[in-house]
Amino acid sequence: MHGLSMLDQDPPNHTRLRWLVRAAFTRRAADAWEPRITALVDAALDRSS
């Protein structure tokens, strides 16, 4: 899989890929995931104790 990640890309390809995924990394998108992430972490911690 080496080379398929956008992190392995140089401009202009990296810039194009970054533009495509930018909406997934906004503050609003991150805030929307917070309750789900909190629930997953809480469940994992409950199983480990």
- Supply the pLDDT for residue 43: 97
**Tokens 């495509």 belong to residue:** 20
- Supply the pLDDT for residue 2: 64
- Supply the pLDDT for residue 41: 97
Q: Is the dihedral of CA 11, 15, 20, 21 positive or negative?
A: positive
- Supply the pLDDT for residue 4: 79
- Supply the pLDDT for residue 34: 96
Per-residue pLDDT of the chain in tens (49 residues, 90 and over written 9):
566 788 899 999 999 999 999 999 999 999 999 999 999 999 999 999 7
